[in-house]
């Protein structure tokens, strides 16, 4: 039997006063569809709301009435009327579908290379373009005209909408040529006391050769040229001269220091992020005076697509200011970390570490690491030529 939408019931009526029963049905405005008689039995379909009235008429005329329910949409739904969870889920599904269809769900940014997405999203938020904003409130033509004036480095912006997705296309300004002092007359002098290992002159006259030992400030490449007729010209000296030189660095730390350390007490707070709205899922307020926190966010993914719904998790760990006492080995290890950081940040590309000598000196309060480097790298420094 096919599924019906109308809530009808099948009736079979049998009795001697069948004609009077049929006339009474018409008088009481009881609609009977598809009715026919066969072997003194009336068959038909009656709306469920009229069954009670029909039974009273049948009892009045001595009619034997039999009813049977069809499998309809309403019959099936009535079976689940006490399942509250299913009903709530359906309501939420409909609500979510309606909300997602009428608001911005995702913002996609295209064409940016130097300007970060965070900067563009912050500017869009000032224009009230963010996830969760109703689409009818957005004037894309006006926003795309204003956006380039709000962000440095953006020459043009275009926007269009596809469903609940807003696409922002960015065209960045062409980088301005770097202004160099290529025409300023200058010499190249030594920046360290060093032994020259290589000489490459692009402009000017080399004063020293490979193997020479030069002191800091010694002229390496001259930008002054004197012709045979004693005419003096000045140029911008260019080149690369490398050498081996020494560098000394010291790192110190105290055996006793006041530091923030975790106490072992921690708390977790969760927040439901719906579009751009944060809904706290906690009631207590952190009472820690000093603490450190770590954030994580897990978005809801449906069919491989991230939805603008996520759970933000914040781990709060209490810290207290305590006096920490280091041993000589612990403090040396801590200072060695600073040495490694220095080498990564200040002795980077272009500089080779030939040797490293570390000596430690200690007193009652602190430990000092004296690091002597033997390095190989560029020893060039520009020095302008002043002409009266």
Same domain? 192 vs 238: yes
Strands lying side by side in the sheet with 194-203 = 213-214, 194-203, 238-254, 366-378, 352-362
DSSP 21: H
Lookup result for tokens 């956006």 = 147
Q: Are residues 339 and 309 in the same domain?
A: no
Question: Does 317 share its domain with 274?
Answer: yes
Partners of 275 in the β-ladder: none
Q: How many domains does the chain have?
A: 5
pLDDT band at 98 (very low <50, low <70, confident <90, very high): low
Domain boundary among 143, 172, 201: 172
Instruction: State the average pLDDT over residues 308-332.
Output: 89
pLDDT, tens digit (0-9, with 9 covering 90-100), for 132-172: 788 888 888 899 899 999 998 899 999 998 877 889 999 99
Scan for tokens 């781990």, then name that residue: 315
- Whether residue 32 is contained in a domain is answered as yes
**SS3 state at 162:** strand
Q: In terms of domains, do 276 and 302 share one? A: yes
What's 155's domain CATH number? Answer: 3.10.20.310
Single pTM value for the model:
0.48
The range of the structural domain enclosing residue 49 comes to 8-76
Dist CA 303 CA 62 (whole Å): 62
Long-range pairs, 206-215, Cβ under 8 A, ≥24: 206/239, 208/241, 214/190, 214/243, 214/379, 215/190
pLDDT digits (tens, 9 = 90+) for 231-270: 888 888 999 999 999 999 999 999 998 888 888 888 888 8
Retrieve residue 260's tokens: 């923030």
Q: Phi and psi dihedrals of 285, rounded to 5? A: -110, 135
pLDDT of residue 291: 85
Residue 208 pLDDT: 92
Whether the Cβ atoms of residue 96 and residue 308 lie closer than 8 Å to each other: no
Q: What is the mean pLDDT of the chain?
A: 85
Determine, yes or no, domain membership for 368.
yes
Assign 340 a pLDDT band (cuts: 50, 70, 90): very high
When pLDDT is cut at 50, 70 and 90, the band that residue 2 belongs to is very low
Does a structural domain hold residue 96? no
Which position has the higher pLDDT, 196 or 76? Answer: 196
Q: Which of 210, 211, 207 is nearest to 188 (CA)?
A: 207
Lowest mean pLDDT among 55-59, 194-198, 301-305: 301-305
- Spatial distance between the Cα atoms of 64 and 49, rounded to a whole number of angstroms: 19
Q: Report how far apart, in Å, the C-alpha atoms of 238 and of each of 30, 103, 154, 177, 208 are.
A: 107, 60, 35, 20, 14
Instruction: Indicate if 317 and 330 belong to the same structural domain.
Output: no
In a domain, 2, yes or no: no
Kindly state the average pLDDT of the residues 269-275: 82
Inside any domain, residue 87: no
Whether residue 86 is contained in a domain is answered as no
């Amino acid at each position: 039997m096919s599924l019906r939408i109308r809530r009808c019931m099948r009736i079979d009526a049998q009795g001697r006063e069948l004609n009077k029963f049929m006339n009474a049905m018409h008088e009481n405005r009881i609609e009977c569809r598809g009715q026919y008689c066969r072997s003194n039995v009336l068959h038909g379909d009656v709306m469920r709301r009229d069954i009670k009235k029909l039974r009273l008429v049948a009892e009045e005329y001595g009619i034997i009435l039999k009813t049977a329910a069809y499998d309809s949409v309403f019959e099936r739904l009535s079976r689940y009327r006490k399942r509250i969870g299913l009903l709530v889920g359906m309501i939420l599904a409909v609500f979510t579908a309606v909300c997602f269809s009428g608001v911005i769900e995702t913002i996609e940014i295209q064409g940016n290379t130097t300007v970060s997405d965070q900067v563009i999203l912050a500017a869009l938020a000032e224009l009230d373009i963010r996830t969760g904003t109703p689409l009818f409130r957005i004037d894309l033509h006006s926003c795309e005209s204003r956006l380039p004036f709000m962000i440095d480095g953006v020459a043009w912006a275009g926007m269009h909408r596809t469903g609940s997705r807003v696409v922002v296309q960015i065209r960045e300004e062409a980088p301005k040529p770097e202004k160099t002092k290529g025409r300023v007359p200058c010499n190249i002098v030594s920046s360290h006391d060093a032994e020259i290992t290589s000489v490459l002159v692009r402009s000017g006259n080399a004063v020293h050769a490979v193997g020479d030992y030069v002191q800091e400030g010694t002229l390496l490449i001259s930008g002054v040229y004197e012709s045979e007729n004693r005419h003096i010209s000045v140029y911008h000296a260019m080149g690369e001269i490398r050498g081996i030189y020494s560098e000394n660095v010291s790192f110190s730390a105290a055996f006793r220091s006041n530091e923030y350390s975790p106490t072992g007490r921690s708390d977790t707070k969760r927040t439901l992020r719906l579009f751009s709205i944060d809904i706290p899922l906690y009631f207590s307020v952190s009472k820690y005076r000093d603490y450190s926190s770590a954030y994580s966010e897990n978005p809801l993914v449906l069919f491989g697509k991230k939805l603008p719904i996520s759970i933000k998790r914040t781990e709060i760990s209490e810290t207290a200011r305590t006096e920490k006492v280091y041993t000589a080995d612990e403090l040396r290890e801590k200072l060695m970390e600073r040495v490694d950081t220095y080498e990564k940040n200040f002795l980077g590309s272009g500089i080779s570490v030939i040797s490293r000598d570390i000596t430690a000196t200690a007193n009652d309060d602190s430990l000092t690491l004296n690091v002597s480097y033997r390095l190989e790298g560029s020893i060039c420094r520009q020095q302008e030529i002043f002409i009266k």
